[in-house]
Amino acid sequence: MPTVPQDAAPTKRPVRTQDDLPRHRYPVTPSAEALLSADDATFNAWAAQVSTDIDATLRDYDIQDRATLRELLGRRLNIELLTHRNEAALATIAALRAAQDKPDAKLTSGLRAEAIVRARIATGQTSGPAFEQAFAKNYAVALDALPWAITGTALKEDRQRAQLMSPTLVDGFVRTDVEPIVTRERAVSDKPADDLIWARMMRQVDLPVQPLTITALGKVVAAKNVAKPDIWTAREVTLTPSDHPTPIVVGIWDSGTDVSLFPQQLYTDPRPRPPANAHGVAFDIDDNPTNGTLYPLTADQQRVYGSVIADFQGLNDLEQAIDSPAADAVRRKISGLPSEAVPAFLEQMKFYGQYMHGTHVAGIVARGNPAVRLAIARRTFDYRNIPAPPTDASVARGNAAAQATINWFRQHGVRVVNMSWGGTAGDFESDLEKNGIGKDTAERKALARRYFEANRDGLYAAIKGAPEILFVAAAGNSNSDNAFDEAIPSSFVLPNMITVSAVDRAGDEASFTTYGSNVAVSANGYQVQSLIPGGTTLESSGTSMAAPNVANLAAKLIALDPKLTPAATIKLIRDGASVSADGRRHNIDPKASVALLRTRPAFAK
């Protein structure tokens, strides 16, 4: 019988994907709001259960995924801040920074928390004039030491968050994301538990120093806010009649498009066969065939649309540290929302964000290419705070809709398809919890896995079954590894698919962008300007904006040489990209890729 040395460390459980992580359940009574407002002894006793499970997960599981480490360490830090374990918090902040991948995050993670902790240690207090003076000094010194070229965007984003946050907004987040679960379950799983702890930390630790935070960030932004250089203008390719481009059909597989904005760049089927329309196909929120290239607004929704556009513009201005009237208006509106109004406001913003999304993507794809012909495959994404629960029937309908969409693409000669959307197994699990489905975390996890795998396998087979079409996928906006998260479709590895991450105007990695070994290239996904329904232009950020920049390039390459296969097109895009010094980014260079195309012996023009 083999023997094991008594001092040998126990073997940790391997963690290859998010599905290998443990799940926990924490009772909450009588309500999330009551727990959030409870006395310190009551709340901290509840949070201690979460803390014990975090420590056990870090101790017992071999977690190589750095995003997961960051998530667990962030949860632990919030508990340490609430329970005034100051030295432990400093150690966690150091570990959190060591787990970062992106240069700006390595320098800015936990910066405000560290200033708070050091002020506590120096003064022996957690509030009052002496504490506030120490915090303000610590934070200002830390901010001043940061290199603006690396951290400027992160600091402006942090200022935006601080300007918008309020106690009622924090409470409103809990009403939106946690309270419905507690109402059904009288308990929460890991993510909503984390949300509760975050909300308590914001109330007791972060918001009390909010005015000082805004002042300090405002000073550093005012002193150092130098615009980053724009690398994309010099790389842009605009096709003209002298290029003799061949018309190319590109699928915008998204939330719908205002086709009136693209009269000369629209695919039209002369003999559409219902339920398809002249410009593509459409499916409703339940994945049943429907009509129309754009979700129809009610009269009430149309009336408020203009004010919603102003809100989005104000949020964009705040993100870029532009003190405009729109920025001031949306700041006052959001920070002044009563907590009971927050759920409806968030649902409204999600609805209109999705309503605008497909048109914005289409505008990026069509830019500078008179040969493009946009084909619209409309999906109706679920915008509700409590979405419809997944079932075997709903997954089957979703797979059938995806297959029908790709069949239509193939039948109508679509060469490139943009997919600025995605999902994970965790999304299925969350939707089940919000609907109170599953008697415990184990059953819920098993149900989610079944639904997810059926959805994944159906979508994978449909894309693989169209080898003549190049599919362009947005990596995601979760600042994590898409393979570990099992994100679909972005984690697929197929010869006819390319996955895209986001960088900013200077080509630096965006704070939000997902990454992964199959992410082939990066493109501008930060404050990208394009059209929205009705014809207004708006800037928007996300890998949703990066992917259509690659679809735009792919369409131009194929318009110049229709003989290109998906594999050849991907190679031209990758070979033309510029590689960052750390090797993390392969930023597309349309001019370089077109130049490579023109040197190919097979190029006939």
Question: What digits encode the pLDDT tens for the residues 282-300?
Answer: 999 999 999 999 999 999 9
Q: What is the mean pLDDT of residues 194-207?
A: 98
Residue with tokens 């968050």: 161
Beta-ladder partners of 499: 473, 519
The structural domains of the chain, with segments of one domain joined by +, span 13-224, 246-296+355-562
300 phi and psi angles, rounded to 5 deg: -65, -40
Instruction: Quote the pLDDT of residue 2.
Output: 46
Question: What digits encode the pLDDT tens for the residues 538-566?
Answer: 999 999 999 999 999 999 999 999 999 99
Give 501's contacts (C-beta < 8 A, 6+ positions apart).
Answer: 475, 509, 510, 513, 514, 515, 519, 521, 522, 525, 543, 546, 585
Instruction: Quote the pLDDT of residue 582.
Output: 85
Six-digit token string for 568: 């050849």
Query: What's the pLDDT band for 470 if we cut at 50, 70, 90?
Result: very high
Cβ burial of 394 (10 Å; 0-12, 13-18, 19+) is middle
Strand-strand pairing, 13-15 and 61-63: parallel
**Contact indicator for 421, 544 with CB cutoff of 8 Å:** yes
Residue 9 has pLDDT above 80, yes or no: no
Instruction: Quote the pLDDT of residue 601.
Output: 86
| Distance from C-alpha of 92 to C-alpha of 78, rounded to nearest angstrom | 10
Helix (H) or strand (E) holding 62, with range, is strand 61-63
Residue with tokens 């799983």: 189
CA nearest neighbour of 204 among 39, 29, 339: 39
Six-digit token string for 531: 């059209």
Query: What's the pLDDT band for 581 if we cut at 50, 70, 90?
Result: confident
Residue 8 has pLDDT above 80, yes or no: no
| Distance from C-alpha of 605 to C-alpha of 588, rounded to nearest angstrom | 23
Beta strands, E only, 130-188: 187-188
Q: DSSP of 477-545, one letter per residue?
A: SSSSBHHHHT-BTTT---TTEEEEEEE-TTSPBPTT--B-TTEEEEEE-SSEEEE-TTS-EEEE-SHHH
* Single-letter amino acid, residue 219: K
Six-digit token string for 57: 């997960």
| Distance from C-alpha of 398 to C-alpha of 421, rounded to nearest angstrom | 14
Q: What is the mean pLDDT of residues 3-20?
A: 78
Six-digit token string for 99: 């787990």
Q: What is the mean pLDDT of residues 235-264?
A: 97
Q: Which CATH architecture has domain 246-296+355-562?
A: 3-Layer(aba) Sandwich (3.40)
Buried b (16+ CB within 10 A) or exposed e, 333-366: ebeebebeebbebbeebebbbbbbbbbbbbbbbb
Question: What digits encode the pLDDT tens for the residues 334-375?
Answer: 999 999 999 999 999 999 999 999 999 999 999 999 999 999
**Contact indicator for 168, 338 with CB cutoff of 8 Å:** yes
Residue 178 has pLDDT above 70, yes or no: yes
Q: What is the mean pLDDT of residues 425-443?
A: 95
Q: What is the mean pLDDT of residues 54-73?
A: 97
Q: Please give, one letter per residue, the 3-state secondary structure of 210-247.
A: HHHHHHHHHHHHHHHCCCCCCCHHHHCCCCCHHHCCCC
**Contact indicator for 364, 530 with CB cutoff of 8 Å:** yes
Centroid of chain to Cα 251: 22
Residue 1 has pLDDT above 50, yes or no: no
Instruction: Quote the pLDDT of residue 322.
Output: 87
Rounding to the nearest 10 degrees, give the CA dihedral for residues 598, 599, 601, 605. 20
What SS3 state is found at 133?
helix
Instruction: Quote the pLDDT of residue 7.
Output: 61
Question: What digits encode the pLDDT tens for the residues 373-387?
Answer: 999 999 999 999 999
Q: What is the mean pLDDT of residues 439-460?
A: 97
Q: What is the mean pLDDT of residues 499-508?
A: 96
Give 87's contacts (C-beta < 8 A, 6+ positions apart).
Answer: none
The mean pLDDT of the chain is 96
Using a pLDDT cut of 70, give the percent of the chain over it: 98
Residue with tokens 């797979």: 399
Q: What is the mean pLDDT of residues 380-400?
A: 97
pTM of the model: 0.96
Residue 212 has pLDDT above 60, yes or no: yes
CA nearest neighbour of 452 among 477, 422, 413: 422
CA distances from 200 to 43, 80, 98, 453, 582 (A): 9, 12, 26, 36, 38
377 phi and psi angles, rounded to 5 deg: -110, 100
Residue 5 has pLDDT above 60, yes or no: no
* Single-letter amino acid, residue 524: N
**Contact indicator for 516, 499 with CB cutoff of 8 Å:** yes
Query: What's the pLDDT band for 583 if we cut at 50, 70, 90?
Result: confident
Residue with tokens 């930060």: 526
CA distances from 179 to 173, 329, 429, 495 (A): 9, 29, 17, 44
Q: What is the mean pLDDT of residues 102-128?
A: 97
CA nearest neighbour of 102 among 523, 531, 502: 502
